[in-house]
Each structure stands twice: as C-alpha cells, then as structure tokens.
Structure 1
Amino acid sequence: MRTLFISDLHLHSGRPDLTRALLHFLASTAQECDQLYILGDLFEAWIGDDFIPEDLQPVVDALNALSRSGCEIFFQHGNRDFLVGQRFAELTGVQILGDSEIIELASGPALLMHGDQLCTDDHAYQALRQQLRNPQWQQAVLAKSVTERLEMAKQLRMASETQTADKSTEIMDVNPQAVQQAMATANSDLLIHGHTHRPAVHSLEAGKRRIVLGDWDKSGWYLEASEQGEKLIEFNLN
C-alpha cells in the first residue's frame, strides 16, 4: 500500500506553472499510489461547484481520470477552498473528508487535518474561520451571483494578505497545546497537516510525530507513506 499526501497548492490563473506541475504529478507520481489525500487549499479560491474556471477544468478531468484508474482520492477542506461540495466530488471522484480524520497507515493510526484549526493563538482568524464554516453563511454566499462571489473572494484574499503582513510568525503557527489535545483526543501518535507552509517532520514527546506538508510555490512537496514508513519529499516544479 502506497499513500500520498499533498496540500496548499493554491491553484489559480496567475500561476499556470502550478497547474502544470499538478497535472504532471497526477499523471506520473500519483499513478503508482493506492490512495491520494489532498489536505486542503488545493485552490487559491473556490466560489462554488457551479463555477469552474476554464484553466482549472484540466485539474478536474485529471482527478477524475486518476480516480477511475483505481486510485482512491480524498479531499479535506482548507481555508481557501471551503466551498468545495458534493458536485465537485461527483465530477472528480474524490471523497470529501471532515475537518479531522483518522486513517490507518502501516505505521499505525494517523490524524489528518488541514491545520488552520490548530492555529489557536490567531484569535481573529479563528473567529473568521467560524463564520466561513457556518453552513447558513455558506448557503447565503452560494445564493449570490458568480460575479458577486468572485468579488467577495477577491476581497477576502486582499484582507488576508493585509492581516498576515501584520501578524507575527508565531501567531500564525500551530499552538503546541492544540496539537497535543488534538492528538490525544484522536488517540494518534502521528499528525499530518498543511496550512502553515512550514514543511518539516517534528519529533514530539513519547515518540509522537507531527508531519507538516509543504506548499507548492518555488518547489513542490508530497508525503509518501508505505510499509517502509513516511517520507516527506521536495521536488522541482519544472
């Protein structure tokens, strides 16, 4: 059994190189895996399943092709693509996960999260996250026109960039106590997440581990899990 994990690609029209890199990854590296987990922020913004940008249609088609080839694909919402819904799942063949999921790897149980819910020191973001994940708020947004939603996504990105520039790196990282609590609740010695864009394998107390997936920007990242263990891999996007 070979399982791959990716997150934080932030695909959008301004970075066609990222889309090309993902298409190559899905057609090559992912072809040899049994399961692929996408742990959030596949897209820079997703305004609803009724609007698929033309430049992202190949991604939908490639995910569908990989799924039909026999690879199980799982998708977890991030803080950028929280409006991905059932229609997207039907078009791609992915299975949508909850915010926290336990899966079984060869090394034992693993807790999967996007990771933003662990950044509990960022109180302003956590308040915003609660709003963005509210089903009633999401339904109200999806009822708006595509033009309105595109403008709203633009405004949210601008606000996020402004707020991020004013925050310390410590506030935007995960809170150690939140990590400990999440792993204890899940009864898991391994946590895999993205969001922070700080790829690393952290050794914790009592033999526990936290693996942080890298974002795709200057290079790409994926985690490979097999009977030999877990390996965090960086690769050239070109």
Structure 2
Amino acid sequence: MNTLFIADLHLCEQEPAITAGFLRFLQREAVHADALYILGDLFEAWIGDDDPAPLHGEIAAALQALQNAGVPCYFIHGNRDFLLGKRFAAISGLTLLPEEQVVELYGRRMLIMHGDTLCTDDQAYQEFRQKVHNTWIQRVFLALPLRWRLKIAAKMRERSQQTNRYKSAAIMDVNPEAVEQALLRHDVHWLIHGHTHRPAVHKLALSRGEAHRAVLGAWHREGSMIKVSADAVELIQFPF
C-alpha cells in the first residue's frame, strides 16, 4: 500500500519525451498506488479549459483511465496551471484541492501544496501571484479570444525567464519561517511540495518537535516522485 506524489512535469508539445514518460508512469507505477496527488505545474502553461491542444485530451484520457482502474487522482494548482478548471477536471476525473491541504496517510498527518507561496523572499513574484489570482482578472483573461491568450501567455513566460536570470538562487527558494508557520498552522510534522525543483528531504527542528519537508524534483531529464507508505516516505528519481 502506498500513495504517490508528483509535481512540476511542465508538460508541453515541445517535450514529447516527458509526456511519454508520464504516460508510462501512470500505466506502470501509479496504477498500483492507493492514490496519486499532482502538486501543480502538470502543464507548462494553461490558458483555459477551452484550449483544444491535443496534448490536453491525451493527458485527460490517461488520467481518467487511471481512475477507472481504481486509483483516485487529486490536483493542486501550480504557478503555471493555476487556471486549470472544472471542465478539465470533469473530463480527466481529477479532484481539485485547495492550495493547502492536509491528508492523513498510514498514520501520518501531512501538509501538501505546490510550494510557491513559501517563497516569500521573492516579493516581486508574490505581488505578481496576487494579481493573477484575482478572480476578476482571471475572468477577463479567460473571456479573451484564444489566440490573444496564447500571445499573452508567451510574453509573460518570456518576461519571467528574463527576470529569473537576475534573481539569486536563495531568493527563489522557500523561506524557513514561512515553512515553519505553515507546519504550525496546520499542526503537522510533514510537508510535501514542489515548485523549487530542488528534490530533497529536509529534517527540521521546530518548537513542537522534529518535522520533515519533502521536496519533489522537476521532470526535466528524469521523473521524480515521493512514495508514502506505512514504513517510509521516499523521494525517488527514475528514468522516463
């Protein structure tokens, strides 16, 4: 018995090897799990559930097949696919979760999230995040013609890449105080997240005792998952 967590696949038409690796992962590994949790950035970009990209239909069908096999799939939005909505969730069978969720697995209470909200030292990003998560702004964007949304998304991505070149590695990592506050707020001793692309399992000393922060890796050259069972919490890297 185990539950699997993944994040930061950044699926897109330009990276077919990652898509193929994800489909194999669903068919060979995830199908044997009790559940699969996707902690954001499943897609490189998401401009609306009405985007007819063939990749979206392929992934939706694969996720639905996994759930038809008896494995429930849960999704927390990332900073790239925060507009993924109820329409895609319905055709893929995904259960959409809030940005912070506590799950109880094999005797452990664990907090799961994408992880970008923990990077509080990057004030510019946090201000940007607050703007794009404004419901009114999202409604206006989604009402635009698809071709306009594609152009806007491409420009925003280019601007983000340019900006990140000048940011230090430290500023784009999680803030230790933000991590501790999240753990204490939810009264948990385990945190699982993605976003930073820095896979590791960290041991933390908190005022309430020892805690752990498990960070998923991005699917750039290999896959990354966290496997939680009654015996262990394992960070596993594997070839596509």
Q: Normalised by the shorter chain, which TM-score bucket?
A: over 0.9
Map residues 75-94 of structure 1 onto 2, 5 A cutoff: 75-94=75-94
Establish whether residue 156 from structure 1 lines up as the match of residue 156 from structure 2: yes
Q: Counterpart of 1:18 in 2: which secondary structure?
A: helix
State the match for 1:226 in structure 2. 229
2: CA distance, partners of 1:56 / 1:173 = 30
Map residues 96-111 of structure 1 onto 2, 5 A cutoff: 96-111=96-111
Map residues 1-238 of structure 1 onto 2, 5 A cutoff: 1-205=1-205, 206-237=209-240
From the superposition, tell whether residues 36 and 207 of structure 1 become closer, same or farther in structure 2 (CA, over 3 Å): same
Q: Counterpart of 1:218 in 2: which secondary structure?
A: coil
Question: 4+ residue stretches of structure 1 with deviation over 6 A?
Answer: none
1: CA distance, partners of 2:157 / 2:53 = 17
RMSD: 0.8
Gaps of 5+ in 1: none
1:70, distance to aligned residue in structure 2 (A): 1.1
Task: Determine if contact 1:100/1:111 at 8 Å carries over to the other structure.
Answer: yes
Q: Percent identity?
A: 47
Gaps of 5+ in 2: none
1:195, distance to aligned residue in structure 2 (A): 0.1
Task: Determine if contact 1:118/1:174 at 8 Å carries over to the other structure.
Answer: yes
Q: Counterpart of 1:59 in 2: which secondary structure?
A: helix
Q: Which AA in structure 1 matches 2:131? A: Q
1: CA distance, partners of 2:91 / 2:139 = 20
Task: Determine if contact 1:107/1:229 at 8 Å carries over to the other structure.
Answer: no
Q: TM-score scaled by structure 1?
A: 0.98
Equivalent residue pairs, number: 237
1:56, distance to aligned residue in structure 2 (A): 3.3
